[in-house]
Amino acid sequence: MVPTLPHALASRLPARLRTLVGAGPRGGVVLELELGRGLVEAPPTSPLEAVRSLNRPSLRTVVEALEKACDDEEVVGLVAHVGGWEPTLAQSAELREAVGRLRAAGTRTVVWSEAYGELGPGNTPYHLASAFEEVWLQPSGDVGLVGMAGRATFLRGALDKLGVEPQIAQRHEFKSAADTFLRSAMTDPVREMLTRLVTSATDTLVADVAQGRGLTREAVRAALEAGPLTADEALERGLVDRLGYRDEVYDDLGVGAGHQDRADAPALRFVEKHAGTGGLGGVLSGLAGSVPGTADTPVVAVVGAHGAIHLGRSGGANPLGGPSVGSETLGAALRAAGRDDAVKAVVLRVDSPGGSYAASDAVRREVHALRESGTPVVASMGSVAASGGYFIAMPCDRVLASAGTITGSIGVLAGKQVLRELLDKVGIARETVSVGRYADMFDTQRAFDDEEWARLEGWLDRVYDDFTAKAATDRGLGLGDLREVAKGRVWTGADALERGLVDELGGLSRAVDVACGLGGVERGDVHVRTYPRVSPFAALQQPENSEVPAAASAGLAFGEGPPLLTRLLSAVGVAPTGVLTMGLDVRLR
């Protein structure tokens, strides 16, 4: 009998040696990518976060696994199921790049779904599907390639009925977050901005689909104008290759139920399982203790900035809220990377709508300090890197975004909601005793007086001037040129590239390539590592000081991050997270 090895060991052997020891099936491996459960943006940074994401791999994990498969002779195919997941346009772009590389390597790539949008928009699910060599659709399904739409919500009418008086100022006309509370309809500047956003995103959608399907852009536009399309219509227009159910897809690949007893049948493995990054093992490896690098194993450190930005510790471990970016935690991660001799470059992965001005500025300073110490830093923008998210990305050596990234929003807002009438309606009385002219300036029981309003306006002018001046310096633009594309305006990554706000289009993988070039190392020689990698036991303990890698752990204290009430109010659109928060709640899908 030929001995066999566990895949975790066998995958480290050369392909021919794997065959000799019986490490892999004779028919090779067909990788399975199940997207119906969705993907998370970043690997877990704490034990609690890891448990929550146990069966949901990260976007980065999947992309890295597909890249490894390009050089794996055992891999003979990829089959992906999209299901009901709706990625953002930026997430889809990153997966498309990885699928495209595998396809270019000669591996058969097949995607299927019950529907790409069921009686409604399915723009990004189909955008992703169009990168595959073969696109299958269930005969009863639809293709919802219909073009992008954006919307804004206005609460002024409801606030008036409740007796809430919003007093918020913003810089400038495109900074639309305050409009949610101040207005009942869209202003002309905001309508102009939103129209350009969805137009740019639709242009990207059409161009990518045309390239992936071998169609003209005119043909894709025509299909888009006719959508949603039935399965037969999509087949006729060349948007899908075959109609069939799951069992027919898998039978065609030779991995269906009728093929399992064949000695030469390919094995079927989830992408992350084959790469050794799935399930509990993947969680533990993601939380494993730091492996110190050596001169022979240079590292590109990927430091994540996911969620709203605030002062203090990151709140990713809070089970009642999503991830957040604490300036202390992110600053500690950047400092730790700078002191690690193995780290040759840092990729700052930003997926944030912004938040605190002071926290964003503190992180910007840490980026500059890291660069000055000799470690290059590359910003990789995810779905959103706007306002404060742009603030922390702009000082990097190079800034990359996807065409569908939402970025910019160089503007500022601040104010309060006056709740006096609402409290009167529900029978709540409040009185304030204060010492100092401005001690109760932000008391929600009363409106600003003229002098207080003037001070608020002056503060906003100062913050806006500081933001635009630093952006102009970091981006190497004239202040006048920078201010022309600022004013709180949100851009897609494609439009931001044309205006000098980012340096090139590309996902995380491309950002790593750029970081390798700046760090003077070859991509094939480096370890790309989430940084810092702190053991679960270290995460439970108080770090030695604010300089050690453990200080960059999100920790387990439930009180960390923005208060729960602030999170809940922000979720329903009642309270901006901070003065550098993006206005429109837009994720291009």
Q: Could you tell me if 238 and 125 lie in one domain?
A: yes
DSSP string for residues in 315-375: -TT-TTS--EEEHHHHHHHHHHHHH-TTEEEEEEEEEE-EE-HHHHHHHHHHHHHHHHTT-
pTM to 2 decimals?
0.81
Domain that holds residue 564: 288-412+489-580
- Residue 490 host element (H or E): strand 490-492
Q: Could you tell me if 351 and 235 lie in one domain?
A: no
Q: How far is CA 140 from CA 1, 478, 574, in A?
A: 48, 55, 41
Q: How far is CA 212 from CA 36, 133, 412, 528, 584, in A?
A: 22, 8, 40, 29, 30
Q: Could you tell me if 393 and 506 lie in one domain?
A: yes
**Cβ(134)–Cβ(192) below 8 Å:** no
Number of domains in the chain: 2
Q: Could you tell me if 306 and 402 lie in one domain?
A: yes
Q: Is residue 204 part of a domain?
A: no
Q: Could you tell me if 61 and 89 lie in one domain?
A: yes
Assign residue 364 the CATH number of its domain.
Answer: 3.90.226.10
Q: Could you tell me if 313 and 394 lie in one domain?
A: yes
**Cβ(352)–Cβ(308) below 8 Å:** yes
The 10 Å CB-count burial string (b at 16+, else e) for 242-278 is: ebbeeebbbebbbbbeebeeeeebbbbbbbbbbbbbb
Q: Could you tell me if 270 and 398 lie in one domain?
A: no
Q: Is residue 158 part of a domain?
A: no
Q: Could you tell me if 245 and 348 lie in one domain?
A: no
Q: State phi, psi for 342 to the nearest 5 degrees.
A: -75, -25
In angstroms, rounded to a whole number, what is the distance separating the alpha carbons of residues 335 and 549?
A: 8
Q: How far is CA 490 from CA 225, 324, 405, 496, in A?
A: 26, 21, 10, 9
Q: Which of 274, 302, 334 is the last residue of a domain?
A: 274
Q: Could you tell me if 373 and 232 lie in one domain?
A: no
Q: Is residue 164 part of a domain?
A: no
Q: Could you tell me if 238 and 313 lie in one domain?
A: no
Q: Is residue 503 part of a domain?
A: yes
Q: Is residue 539 part of a domain?
A: yes
Q: Which of 218, 243, 274 is the last residue of a domain?
A: 274
Q: Could you tell me if 269 and 293 lie in one domain?
A: no
Q: Is residue 310 part of a domain?
A: yes
Tell me the sheet residues that pair with 417. Answer: 166
Q: Is residue 152 part of a domain?
A: no
Q: Could you tell me if 367 and 251 lie in one domain?
A: no
Q: Is residue 297 part of a domain?
A: yes
Least Cα distance to 355 among 321, 389, 380, 328 occurs for: 389
Tens-level pLDDT at each residue, the chain (589 residues):
334 444 434 444 443 344 433 445 567 889 999 998 888 876 665 555 565 556 678 888 899 899 999 988 899 999 999 988 899 999 999 999 999 999 999 999 999 999 998 877 899 999 999 999 999 999 999 999 988 887 777 777 777 777 776 767 677 766 777 777 767 778 888 788 888 988 999 999 999 999 999 999 999 999 999 888 999 999 999 999 999 999 999 999 988 766 666 767 888 888 888 866 554 444 444 444 334 444 468 999 999 999 899 988 777 444 445 678 988 889 999 999 999 999 999 999 999 998 888 899 999 999 999 999 999 999 999 999 999 999 999 999 999 999 999 999 988 877 878 887 887 777 887 777 777 777 777 788 888 888 888 888 888 888 889 999 999 999 999 999 999 999 889 999 999 999 999 999 999 999 999 999 999 999 989 999 888 765 544 555 555 555 555 555 554 443 344 444 444 444 444 444 567 776 555 556 6
Q: Which of 215, 241, 274 is the last residue of a domain?
A: 274
157 CB neighbour count, 10 Å cutoff: 11
